[in-house]
Amino acid sequence: MERKDILPFIAVISGVLIFFVLAASLPVGRELFRRLFPKPESKAYVGQLSMPAQINAAGSSIEVPITLNTNGSNVVGVDISINFSIARLQLTDIVTNGSSHTLKSFLPADSNGNLNKSSVMQSANQTGSLRFSAVNVDPVTKELLAPYSGSQTITQPLATLVFNVSGAASTNVTFDFTLGNLNDTNLAVVGTATDSLENVQNATIVFANATVTPAPYSADINQDGTVNVFDLGVLAANYNKTIDSSSTDIERRADINQDTVVNVFDLGILASQYGTSP
């Protein structure tokens, strides 16, 4: 190749270089560079997804807000995978909150671009595994939005799950999460090809009407070390009594099984321990 043939190439390459140098010095150019050549994140695992540690279920319905803390990283998407007991909880709504962050599109989407709730909830209520995603795409224009860097709060969560509850005691709602597993709950960060989710906080639903059955008292009602005729005497003296907050200590202990009435069932326990030193 002769020198006169090379000159145009040199001119073009120089022009492109000058363009990029100039572009990089302008705000728009810097933004273009940032998007074309994103800096790799320095930490592999960064973000947290949380539900309140304990939710008290006073009525028949509870709300479980899901919050996200990116810890300053540029998040472009979140895969939510949550497990719950279908015997105790029935998912009745997923309230998505796209107003306070850029993860505005929820997937899978329906024909209007909104989260396809009916399909997601039906599957969740059949399997006990709830799965949906939030990504930084405008649901209307389908254009990429800026990555989300911030912290969702309980009052403005990423999404809120609404459950009907039944049963007593407690049940758990847990993120399906193993550090580094790409098939469970995930956090996608600009410049990182793998899951960046560092940790999760799960929820325990505690039922307010849960009755904890107290351990029965010893049949040694008078607490003299032996179950004998004197305990039988106390039980007989309080027979058929209802035990409440006004009852004396000895009356309370006569209700050996603590079912609030002194009756034949307490006598049965006393008989089974008769002659022993419990």
Q: Which stretch binds Ca ion (CB under 5 A): 29-37, 126-134, 135-143, 175-183?
A: 175-183
**How many residues sit in the footprint of Ca ion (CB under 5 A)?**
12
CA distances from 214 to 217, 255, 268, 278 (A): 9, 12, 18, 18
237 binds Ca ion (CB under 5 A): no
CB closer to Ca ion, 184 vs 198: 184
CB closer to Ca ion, 63 vs 259: 259
220 binds Ca ion (CB under 5 A): yes
Q: Which two tokens stand for residue 257?
A: 């099984």
181 binds Ca ion (CB under 5 A): yes
Query: Which residue in the set 184, 200, 205, 238 belongs to the binding site for Ca ion (CB under 5 A)?
Result: 184
Q: Which stretch binds Ca ion (CB under 5 A): 100-108, 117-125, 129-137, 174-182?
A: 174-182
Q: Which amino acid belongs to residue 230?
A: F
> What track of x and - describes contact with Ca ion for positions 246 through 275 (by CB under 5 A)?
---------x-x-x------x---------
Q: Which of 215, 249, 214 is nearest to 234 (CA)?
A: 249
Sequence-ordered strand ranges (E) for the chain? 47-50, 54-57, 61-69, 75-84, 89-96, 105-107, 129-135, 159-165, 170-175, 186-189, 197-201, 203-207
Q: Which stretch binds Ca ion (CB under 5 A): 5-13, 41-49, 199-207, 228-236?
A: 228-236
CB closer to Ca ion, 8 vs 225: 225
The total of other beta-carbon atoms located within 10 Å of residue 252's CB is 18
CB closer to Ca ion, 153 vs 277: 277
Give the integer Cα–Cα distance in Å for 24 and 11. Answer: 20
For the CA atoms of 120, 198, 51, 65, what is the dihedral angle to 10 degrees? -60
Q: Which of 102, 100, 186, 106 is nearest to 136 (CA)?
A: 102
198 binds Ca ion (CB under 5 A): no
Q: Which stretch binds Ca ion (CB under 5 A): 56-64, 125-133, 195-203, 233-241?
A: 195-203
Query: Which residue in the set 31, 93, 110, 224 belongs to the binding site for Ca ion (CB under 5 A)?
Result: 224
Give the integer Cα–Cα distance in Å for 234 and 227. Answer: 11
Residues at the contact surface with Ca ion, assessed by CB under 5 A: 181, 184, 186, 195, 220, 222, 224, 231, 255, 257, 259, 266
